Chains A and B, each alone.
Chain A
């Protein structure tokens, strides 16, 4: 498998606070990789760094073999990275449809966009019902669906998803995870997935990394991680519950 995204020795600071320490991470083309870690371990910061929303102190980021750490966020998106941001970040005063179309901003093929719009409505009937509602008035879970669907609208090669199932009802969690697996299987989209429900995430991922206070503490295949006792205790809540 060829490497699609590679982070090498990435360091990020908030002021004097060292948030990411020498992070190394790879996502292969067509691979689902899960990024785990406790609260405040730097998962969201990693995602923002990949998208160019935080400044890199040192290290390199390559996408598809090309260094992108000096490229702007829109340039990275044009190159094929999409994002489901933490806490959704839908455009509150745009309607549901407009949000979806904003997701397709980088695309030129109108027909394809219309087709995808239709598909999103099929997958998420609630979004079809509310196509003219302002996104800011949607319920939390509805906004989460919208953020997910919006990211798909750009036909990306890699999607960075920061807790895409947060606030979703159990049934929809399943549906979204199925959808991620399907996208990956059928369209070969690579996914970097931050997900609190580690077990669910690892059930569709092939590999995973565990961040602890800004460092990659453990990495391995999904099965290895699921069996790792340290991880069972810290993130799966086995022994605590």
Chain B
């Protein structure tokens, strides 16, 4: 444990800051096929790291492992030096990792605003009394019933908290300008594909996570819409938001990333600054293809 910590502390681009997220020797097989194999990388605080690679190379699986959606076969994941690879997704979310999904998973039966509000669940204090007990056998009923009680008869603190949530939701929706704000009370299932993605990003961003994990956030958007997302990502980066990004749109990746990790067949084949990675012949061959490889 201490050894790995010492090892990871050095790896972040020559600085002394310990990494925010550190992934060591991660592995996951499906029916004998190693989808992710000995993958290691770090994300420093405030850093934007992108994972790119051909289809089926293990990017989404890596994100699923980092966020606890599926368990790893081997390897370690540390957030702020703390092991999180044995935790369930809720604990990991509470530890400060928020994510979106490749195909989009909005809560169809909730309005756009409510979708975002649900993202703030981990930040609730007054609304969820005694929440520290919620991982204990049987005792978890105490916070559950307390939450129910506060929901029915809100305390003053809970009401103030609720007002804070509404404000946070409005701010989050405004981030997307006129795209989401006019539809804030519409059910999410009536949104078009790209607007569902935006709703999901807003939901993930709302709790101000320590690490934001995005799986192809611009899939299904045209170039100008992609440029819009790029601006938003750059702004987040300027605000110091650490991001772990999976994306196929290479121009966006090159512009926004501090570092790029390239994986193929579940293994890291290249890693470094965007321009260096782009020049790597291995990457051009495995990933970019002729039209862009030359560019």
A binds B: yes
Residues of A in contact with B (beta carbons under 8 Å apart) = 14, 36, 38-40, 44, 86-87, 126, 137-142, 144-145, 163, 166-175, 196-199, 233-237, 240-241
Interface residues of B in 30-84 (CB under 8 A from A): 30, 53-57, 59-61
- Measured between alpha carbons, how far is A6 from B87 in the docked complex, in Å? 56
The answer to whether B55 and A170 have CB atoms under 8 Å apart is no
Closest beta carbon of chain A to B199's beta carbon, Å: 12
Taking CB as reference atom, which chain B residue is nearest A36?
Answer: B222
Give the residues in chain B near A199, CB-CB below 8 Å. Answer: 223
Q: Is B158 an interface residue (CB 8 A)?
A: no
- Measured between alpha carbons, how far is A39 from B199 in the docked complex, in Å? 14
Give the residues in chain A near B290, CB-CB below 8 Å. Answer: 174
The answer to whether A139 and B56 have CB atoms under 8 Å apart is yes
- Measured between alpha carbons, how far is A21 from B225 in the docked complex, in Å? 24
Closest beta carbon of chain A to B224's beta carbon, Å: 4
The answer to whether A40 and B222 have CB atoms under 8 Å apart is no
The answer to whether B224 and A170 have CB atoms under 8 Å apart is no
A196-B103 contact given A141-B55, A171-B54, CB 8 Å threshold: no
The answer to whether B190 and A142 have CB atoms under 8 Å apart is no
Q: Classify chain B: how many residues form its interface, as a range.
A: 35 or more
Taking CB as reference atom, which chain B residue is nearest A165?
Answer: B248
Give the residues in chain A near B248, CB-CB below 8 Å. Answer: 141, 167-170
Stretch of B12-20, B113-121, B204-212, B213-221 on the interface side: B213-221
A44-B103 contact given A126-B55, A140-B60, CB 8 Å threshold: no
Closest beta carbon of chain B to A19's beta carbon, Å: 10
Q: Is B227 an interface residue (CB 8 A)?
A: yes
Interface residues of B in 224-240 (CB under 8 A from A): 224-228, 230
Closest beta carbon of chain B to A198's beta carbon, Å: 6
Q: Is B134 an interface residue (CB 8 A)?
A: no
Closest beta carbon of chain B to A209's beta carbon, Å: 15
Q: Is B162 an interface residue (CB 8 A)?
A: no
Give the residues in chain B near A138, CB-CB below 8 Å. Answer: 56
Q: Is B191 an interface residue (CB 8 A)?
A: yes
User: Would you give 27 A-B contacts (Cβ < 8 Å), ordered by A?
Assistant: A39-B192, A40-B191, A87-B193, A139-B56, A139-B60, A140-B103, A144-B55, A166-B219, A168-B55, A169-B54, A169-B248, A170-B289, A171-B54, A172-B289, A175-B289, A196-B223, A199-B223, A233-B224, A234-B224, A235-B222, A235-B223, A236-B223, A237-B223, A237-B226, A240-B224, A241-B223, A241-B227
Give the residues in chain A near B286, CB-CB below 8 Å. Answer: 171
Give the interface SS of chain B, mostly helix, strand, loop or mixed: helix
The answer to whether A171 and B289 have CB atoms under 8 Å apart is yes
The answer to whether B225 and A39 have CB atoms under 8 Å apart is yes
The answer to whether A170 and B222 have CB atoms under 8 Å apart is no
The answer to whether A167 and B102 have CB atoms under 8 Å apart is yes
Pairs of residues from A and B, 10 with the lowest C-beta to C-beta distance, nearest first: A141-B55, A171-B289, A237-B223, A40-B192, A39-B194, A237-B224, A196-B222, A139-B56, A241-B227, A237-B227
Q: Is B250 an interface residue (CB 8 A)?
A: yes
Give the residues in chain B near A36, CB-CB below 8 Å. Answer: 222
Give the residues in chain A near B102, CB-CB below 8 Å. Answer: 140, 167
Q: Is B292 an interface residue (CB 8 A)?
A: yes
Q: Is B288 an interface residue (CB 8 A)?
A: yes
Q: Is B22 an interface residue (CB 8 A)?
A: no
- Measured between alpha carbons, how far is A139 from B53 in the docked complex, in Å? 12
- Measured between alpha carbons, how far is A141 from B54 in the docked complex, in Å? 9
Give the residues in chain B near A173, CB-CB below 8 Å. Answer: 289
- Measured between alpha carbons, how far is A86 from B103 in the docked complex, in Å? 11
The answer to whether B289 and A166 have CB atoms under 8 Å apart is no
Give the residues in chain B near A174, CB-CB below 8 Å. Answer: 289-291
- Measured between alpha carbons, how far is A36 from B224 in the docked complex, in Å? 13
Give the residues in chain A near B60, CB-CB below 8 Å. Answer: 139-140
